[in-house]
Structure 1
Amino acid sequence: MADSAFRRTPTGASRLLFRLPVHLYRIGLGWLFGRRLLLLNHIGRVSGKKRRVVVEVVERDPDAGTYTVCSGFGPKAAWYRNLMATPDVTIQVGVRTAEVTAVPLPPEEAGEVLVRYARRRPRTARGLTRFMGFETDGSEAAYRRAGTALPFVRFVPRT
């Protein structure tokens, strides 16, 4: 899938709705999201300013302490590009904060991550892939194809 096929970043009222979780985290209500959403604190690649965005956790590995997320707006999303420029960031999940390094996943691994997500949350996966511009019949092969086209990032704890 070409970059131009990804949905554009939200503007106007939809942007306010997408930014609402950031404000809830800022006022100490991050616990409302449990482990489903995380607050990513990163540095703007051009401005050098601190930036925040809330993204959905696609997969987590409690033993390794890793969290995996996906850029549903493609590789041109500002937060994703910022991570590629400066991968050492902090994340907040619920009330816990961690220093991590963002590691992009290879397409094959990303495809498998999306397949596992679809097994756990079939209805959500179907809606999200449709929202991101992918046609899916709900099969693992369709999710695997979509996953290989999307940029996934795994947050690995810094030691």
Structure 2
Amino acid sequence: MTEPVSVPSRTTDRLVAVATRALRNRHLMRAPIWIYRARLGFLLGPRVLMLEHVGRKSGARRYVVLEVVDHPEPDSYVVVSGFGTAAQWFRNIQAQPEVHLWVGRHGRRAATASVLPQDRAAATLQDYAARNARAWAKMKPAIENTLGATIDEADPALPIIELRLAHG
């Protein structure tokens, strides 16, 4: 017996279009930064963090709120660059990996950013997709649309970044 083939519906297509527009809406994507600045980041839950990074050209502090896709150790958070290597925050952390994080009720904490090796990145994305199957099924097409490329969980082209808290 063959498996039924999933055909995108008009509703699914509309949802992908709306999600893609939302991801590209600068004001909407920056709204959570104001929540963190008001010291209300805990309202967003433990699956979200705010990353402070330094502009590679301007030297100015920059902020982005990201979903935590893994928290393998108490001092480690893993995030994904949904816009790939073109994301400004990703390019900034490559130039200056010393960053600061806000997570939940925790205030500003020093951390170091590093891109995961391909094998760990693939395992992390596969695990995330399995743990969050419904959310991933809805967001993956929007991310692919925004990225302009297909995402293969076994060999992700998306940069996956570990943010390790500094001790002391």
TM-score (norm 2): 0.78
* Counterparts of 2:162 and 2:21, CA distance in 1: 23
| Aligned with 1:73 (options 63, 74, 83) | 83
Aligned residues between the structures: 143
> 1:132 aligned to 2:134?
no
User: Identity over aligned residues, as a percent?
Assistant: 37
> 1:153 aligned to 2:161?
yes
* Counterparts of 2:60 and 2:21, CA distance in 1: 23
Within 5 A, what are the aligned runs for 1:106-117? Answer: 106-117=117-128
Q: Check the 8 A contact 2:22/2:29 in 1, yes or no.
A: no
> What is the DSSP-based 3-state SS (H/G/I as helix, E as strand, rest coil) of the residue aligned with 2:139?
helix
> What is the DSSP-based 3-state SS (H/G/I as helix, E as strand, rest coil) of the residue aligned with 1:75?
helix
Give the corresponding residue for 1:17.
28
1:117-156 C-alpha deviation (Å, 9 max, x unpaired)? 01111011122221121657xxxxx4223xx211010011
> 1:119 aligned to 2:130?
yes
Larger Rg: 2
* Counterparts of 1:155 and 1:45, CA distance in 2: 18
Give the corresponding residue for 2:56.
45
| Aligned with 1:90 (options 77, 86, 100) | 100
TM-score (norm 1): 0.82
Q: Check the 8 A contact 1:8/1:73 in 2, yes or no.
A: no
* Counterparts of 2:86 and 2:121, CA distance in 1: 17
> What is the DSSP-based 3-state SS (H/G/I as helix, E as strand, rest coil) of the residue aligned with 2:164?
strand
Q: Which stretches of structure 1, 4 residues or longer, exceed 6 Å deviation after superposition?
A: none
* Counterparts of 2:60 and 2:52, CA distance in 1: 10
